Chains A and B, each alone.
Chain A
């Protein structure tokens, strides 16, 4: 798409040629533009990793924080100015490994952000060790006998904690990925999109071809409002489902539970009346 306000001109990219991150970046920027979001009203929070560099290449507000810590930062941003559109974007190691505890509790809170996970099933930036989503048997410099553990299942975990919007996409199809991201961002509440992408340097197992052969799109008549069906889909291992796996409106937002208004925190003033009243309790 031309004239995308989210494009950054003349930026040197830190990704390898052929990396799935490029397609994911295009899908995110395309989704944002098509949704008509004002780039001055968008904050992308990320952690550390190759995927976490994404907001470096987007013309929007950015908090590129620490490995694993994107979600608590995003929480602080959202609760301090709920008028902002907030996206937390990082890799599988950052979100599900180092940030696993934050991920669980972020889902529980249900604040209105979109979580985009670059899931390439490997640690890229640290040079090829297993990630929480690495498939069993994958040999690496560290997993010398192959990965021994079952992969972390972000879809099932999200569903178990009642995330109201859970989806999975694959960068093999940028157009469909963009459509899923659009729905996730439009959704009011905590939306998780786990996005498959290859790591062309360190993951020789999960290639474009592998993702094509091992995934399928959910049929049009699939009902994403049914949590039980969603669970069934989440634990499928033969072929991994793509699309909106679960979507339920109506779960109350953490912002609303806390009674947060639309006045940004930087405009607040201390109520002198309340202050006097408080002192009075101690007279």
Chain B
């Protein structure tokens, strides 16, 4: 007899094009409609067809947003999936697969599952994905009606017959799932909570997209590059509803320059890219620095150097963002840890960019962007849209010296003044100069805003026992995994600290770390954020927990690493 409490991990594995993602999308939607708390994350190869990809769907009692290595139910759509996931198949893993093509590959708990036969019986071999979803629901003893409703909606355009055939396929899978549960004495103890209609099921791209739209962003120019592309397509699909200009640039150099042109003219502009694409934008970041034109950069990280692992995850581009662009000027780097935070931080990014006339980076990564989780509507924060644009008068000077270094921002065509933006060192009116005195003053003007930016910087969020002597620091997408690991460990001497703003560091952070033993968890090889903390605050980092395989941290390995402390 197997009993599953609090936490079930279901993994679907197969080749690209076999429908792993379709199954997972359908399943999480239906589970959510049944009141289950779900989280899904995905790992895939950089190819269009073939290879071996997998998606994990977790159903948990507490809301979770982390990857676990453990697999309770594995649905292998081909033989390679078993090979690919071999080292994650453990004693408790129940494998569902067609026996035929997998002769000799059976694992201990192998259930020969006639996906294809059921699909054919229902009317078409392509229905095997529907069979699989039905099977999971049967296994978990979750009513089929929500799935039938989902299928009706999905296939409405294809006619009644396709809908009813799909429902038949789902029923066959469901029946098989129920039978298996009885035969194997599987009992699922997770009670779905009350069905909630005020919860949204979204992926990371949608979270970043919601925030970007809520911020009043109306210009994006970008060149496709995984995993940054998701935001570009998200905005393209909603461009008409929200008056967003979407331009697919000829290269990333064009993208950043177009965004700066747009922002100069008064738009709220963003670019989205990944490390390699961003490397091409660096000169543009320098241009934004000297011209004081606000811009937001969404940098979806993936492992480098160069092409690296195009579809995998990493947090190794912090230093790239931190040091991008020649010369010295201000910048802000944000890194959301939850979807609700991403929605808020995207708005904050535009707010800071416009208020301080600076570049704001938002660092995410493949794991974060491709994950799926629910967000309560009450968690969605809306910030006011203030562009900080003034109507110019005839005496207007774009770079007028002010106490805080921020000159009122005029835009061409609004008012009576002339707005000159210049990449050269310039005077207050924006004309190039080689005056040493002006140069000195302009450098100071551009850097002075770092002080208020630091004071306004978001403080890290503490979780776990506040008085604990050991503090585990993480940033960006590692919020969920650290939270869950600490929850599992329940140790009085360990607490977590998540940074959603990395640069500048609020000076008050020093006090939070004083007298603590600092452990830093990050998905890179050298501990870039650990180094940043040491440099900025003079603190000593006791240990770094790092990972560079291209996968996200699993809860198990964080538990283990922290257990060894």
A contacts, CB < 8 Å to B: 11, 14, 39-41, 43, 45, 48, 53, 55-56, 59-66, 69, 71-77, 79-81, 83-84, 101-102, 104-105, 258-261, 264-266, 268-271, 274-275, 277-279, 282-283
Contact = CB atoms under 8 A, between A and B. Distances in A.
B268 interface: yes
B412 A81 contact: yes
B243 A266 contact: no
Nearest to A84: B413
B541 interface: no
Contacts of A55: 420
14 contacts: A40-B413, A61-B412, A66-B283, A72-B261, A73-B257, A76-B262, A76-B269, A77-B265, A81-B265, A102-B253, A105-B254, A260-B245, A264-B413, A268-B218
B271 to A, nearest CB: 11
A79 B245 contact: yes
Contacts of A278: 210, 213, 238, 241
Contacts, number: 194
A29 to B, nearest CB: 14
Given A80-B245, A268-B218, A282-B200, 19 more contacts: A40-B416, A43-B265, A56-B432, A62-B430, A64-B423, A72-B221, A73-B260, A75-B261, A76-B219, A80-B267, A102-B250, A102-B253, A102-B254, A258-B246, A264-B414, A270-B216, A270-B242, A275-B214, A275-B242
A241 to B, nearest CB: 29
B257 A259 contact: no
A45 B389 CA distance: 21
Nearest to A68: B253
Contacts of B377: 279
Interface string B410-428: 0111111111111110000
A274 B214 CA distance: 11
Interface in B226-260: 238, 240-243, 245-247, 249-251, 253-255, 257-260
Given A64-B421, A101-B250, A77 B262 contact: yes
B544 to A, nearest CB: 37
B421 A63 contact: yes
Interface in B420-476: 420-424, 430-432
A155 to B, nearest CB: 21
Given A56-B431, A64-B421, A74 B414 contact: no
Nearest to B262: A76
B337 to A, nearest CB: 20
Contacts of A65: 257, 260-261, 287, 291, 421, 423
B261 A74 contact: yes
Contact of B240 (A60, A259, A275): A259
A270 B417 CA distance: 28
Nearest to B265: A80
Most B Cβ at <10 Å: residue of A77, A81, A84, A105: A77
Contacts of A81: 265-266, 411-413
A278 B416 CA distance: 39
Given A53-B432, A80-B265, A101 B251 contact: yes
The secondary structure that dominates the B interface is mixed
Contacts of A102: 250, 253-254
B206 interface: yes
A258 B432 CA distance: 35
B432 A64 contact: yes
Nearest to A111: B247
B264 interface: yes
A101 B243 contact: no
B199 interface: yes
A73 to B, nearest CB: 4
A74 B422 CA distance: 14
Contacts of A105: 250, 254
Contacts of A271: 241-243
A265 B267 contact: yes
Contact of A76 (B246, B253, B258): B258
B417 to A, nearest CB: 8
B261 A76 contact: yes
Contacts of B415: 40
B54 interface: no
Nearest to B394: A40
A275 B261 contact: no
Contacts of A53: 432
Nearest to B418: A61
B197 interface: yes
A41 B245 CA distance: 21
A39 B420 CA distance: 12
Interface of B: 197-202, 206, 210, 213-214, 216, 218-219, 221, 238, 240-243, 245-247, 249-251, 253-255, 257-269, 283-284, 287, 291, 377, 380, 385, 387, 389, 411-424, 430-432
A66 B287 contact: yes
A265 B412 contact: no
B216 A45 contact: no
A-B residue pairs, 7 tightest by C-beta:
A76-B261, A266-B266, A76-B262, A73-B261, A265-B267, A72-B257, A61-B412
B258 A72 contact: yes
Contact of B219 (A40, A45, A60, A79): A79
A77 B411 CA distance: 10
Given A72-B257, A101-B250, A84 B412 contact: yes
A101 B252 CA distance: 11
B267 A11 contact: no
Given A101-B254, A259-B240, A266-B266, A282 B260 contact: no
A269 B254 contact: no
Contacts of B411: 81, 264, 266
Most B Cβ at <10 Å: residue of A43, A60, A73: A73
A259 B245 CA distance: 9
B221 A76 contact: yes
Contacts of B263: 76, 80
A123 B387 CA distance: 40
Contacts of A265: 218-219, 245, 262, 265-268
Contact of B267 (A62, A76, A101): A76
A137 to B, nearest CB: 32
A76 B241 contact: no
Nearest to A73: B261
Contacts of A264: 265-266, 411, 413-414
Contact of A61 (B268, B284, B419, B424): B419
A39 B418 contact: yes
A101 B415 CA distance: 35
B258 A73 contact: yes
Most B Cβ at <10 Å: residue of A11, A80, A282: A80
Most A Cβ at <10 Å: residue of B261, B283, B424: B261
Given A66-B284, A268-B243, A279-B200, A61 B423 contact: no
Given A66-B423, A80-B266, A274 B242 contact: yes
Most B Cβ at <10 Å: residue of A59, A76, A274: A76
Nearest to A278: B238
B200 A283 contact: yes
A219 to B, nearest CB: 37
B258 A75 contact: yes
Contact of A63 (B202, B261, B380, B432): B261
A72 B264 CA distance: 12
Most A Cβ at <10 Å: residue of B251, B258, B389, B412: B412
Given A76-B263, A80-B265, A266 B412 contact: no
A45 B261 contact: yes
